[in-house]
Structure 1
Amino acid sequence: MSKLPVMIDITEKLIVVIGGGKAVERRLNKLSKWTENIVIISPSITAQIKELVASTNIVWKKREFHPLDIENASLVIIATNDVELNRRISHDAPSHAWINAMHDAENGDLEFPIYMQNGHLTIAISTNGASPILAKKIKKDMEEKFNDKYVTYIDFLYEVRQLLKGLSIDPLKKHDYLKEIVENPIYEEEDQLAYLKELKSENK
């Protein structure tokens, strides 16, 4: 079953992770960049996860899973090596919670794609499980194509958009400005500054 690509803000969402192995390490390395509102349920965890717990607000509950652990969770990450336990956790999860089943992706409703992020630019890549190796190759290609110069250009687009929001000019004209600098990109910093200066004069 195909899944809808979305971007979500998890800052204030409770994330419960069941499991403490290498797979959880990789997941936490990603998640901890956006939130520390994470609870790990596992009798044991790896040394790297212990270091992460010690240096962040992530909580480790050193015990077996209980259904009450996920009662208020927004996202449940199932990552144990026990097939029956994984099935039971998925069954016990509240209807409001998203499920990421790391050892059986099809039984979850949320997956974490490979992604590249640089400045305002984020590109998520998924082959829906057909070829993770290809997804990694596409990521590498994207990183080469959308380099730091391109990211600086996106920063410029952001500045223009913010400036236009405050200008008292016709909305259609604002749209024309935004369309123009996408169809005719301005990559050089000197030219960008000159464009911004000219744009500011529109409101005088």
Structure 2
Amino acid sequence: LFVDLEDKRIVIFGGGRVGYRKSKRFIEEGCNEIIVVSNSFLNDFEELAKTGRIKFVERDLTKGFSDLLEKTFMVVPVTDNEQINKDIMNDAIKRGILVNYRFGDVFLPSIVRKDKIVIAISTLGLSPALSRFLRIRIEEMIDERYDTMLDVLSYIRKFLIDHVKDRDKREKILANILSDKDLWNLSNKDDMIKIALKYVEDKEE
């Protein structure tokens, strides 16, 4: 599930290293309204503040936090006080707010972005290290050929919808195109489309 966070309000409780990493990640995901709440903040937050998309609220959370949950899409309780984290999580759940916490309902996957291809990797919070390892391996594997193939498949898919009514046949054609090793070795998109269209012609016959 991919969610557009651009206009969503994210409240991060905790101004330490984890809170910083979470804030940076949400900025990278396009979130424009991030609020970080803590009684102190890591110096690294100063760089994130320059984006204009993050606000800071200095507060002793032992004295309350409920007002900060108003109109909030997701909370991230990562303070150094586990009881406060659980209290924030429980209050948020009662309000129907998503929670990114080890006992919550949202996990942030590692993301691979290569042009128009986005791949999410998650170990359901069990091993972030493995998620990062897999992300690096996949990034090394996906080169410009995949982006070109995506353009080819997008063109062929639209063509198939107009010319091949049988869904099973369409899926078979696309599978055959993806399995064509010679096609993957081409670099010119127009040449690839010409060869890919032959699979369509064969099915039409």
Shorter-normalised TM range:
0.7 to 0.9
How far residue 176 of structure 1 moved from its aligned partner, in angstroms, is 4.3
5, 9, 28: which one aligns with 2:23: 28
Structure 1: tracts of 5 or more residues without a match: 1-5, 199-204
Cα distance change of structure 1 residues 130 and 62 upon mapping to structure 2, 3 Å threshold: closer
Residue 157 of structure 2 is aligned to residue 150 of structure 1 = no
User: Partners in 1 of 2:59 and 2:126 — Cα distance?
Assistant: 36
The amino acid that maps onto 1:146 is: I
Q: 1:16 aligns with which of 7, 11, 16?
A: 11
Contact 2:77 2:100 in 1 (8 A): yes
Q: Work out which of the residue numbers 103, 107, 110 in structure 2 matches 1:111.
A: 107
- Compared CA separation, residues 52 and 84, structure 1 to 2 (3 A): same
Which residue matches 1:99?
99
| Paired position in structure 2 for 1:73 | 72
Distance apart, 1:99 and its partner CA? 0.5
Q: Deviations over 1:27-51 (max 9, x none)?
A: 1222112212211112222222122
Aligned Cα root-mean-square deviation (Å): 2.8
Do 2:49 and 2:55's aligned partners in 1 also have CA atoms closer than 8 Å?
yes
Q: Distance in 2 between matches of 1:184 and 1:87?
A: 51
Instruction: Output the CA distance in 1 between the equivalents of 2:79 and 2:34.
Output: 17
CA drift of 1:72 comes to 1.5
Q: Which residue of 2 aligns with 1:201?
A: none
TM-score after normalising by structure 1: 0.76
Amino acid of the structure 2 residue aligned with 1:10: L
Q: Distance in 2 between matches of 1:179 and 1:44?
A: 58
CA distance in 2, matches of 1:127, 1:196: 36
Cα distance per residue 1:65-103 (max 9 Å; x no partner): 4211012211101111011211221122143211012xx
3-state DSSP of counterpart to 2:50: helix
Please give the alpha-carbon distance, in whole angstroms, between the structure 2 residues aligned to 1:149 and 1:40.
41
Secondary structure, in 3 states, of the residue corresponding to 1:133? helix
Opposite residue 117 of structure 1, the aligned amino acid is: R
**Contact between 1:120 and 1:155, CA under 8 Å: does it hold in 2?**
no
| Paired AA for residue 172 in structure 1 | D
Cα deviation, residue 24, structure 1: 1.6
Please say which of residues 180-189 and 119-128 is displaced more in the overlay. Answer: 180-189
Counterpart for residue 176 of structure 2: 183
Give distance in 2, aligned partners of 1:120 and 1:151: 7
- What one-letter code is carried by the residue in structure 2 that aligns with 1:21? G
Supply the distance in 2 between the matched residues of 1:168 and 1:154 (Cα, whole angstroms): 19
Identity of aligned residues (%): 24
Structure-2 separation of matches of 1:44 and 1:112: 24
**Could you give the per-residue CA deviations for residues 170-189 of structure 1, whole angstroms, max 9, x where no partner exists?**
5437x745642442234432
Give SS of 1:17's match. strand
Runs of 4+ more than 4 Å apart: 175-179, 195-198
Please state whether the residue corresponding to 2:123 is helix, strand or coil. coil
Which SS does the other structure have where 1:96 is aligned?
Answer: coil
Shift of residue 137, structure 1, vs aligned partner: 2.6
Q: 1:193 to 1:139 in 2, by over 3 A?
A: same
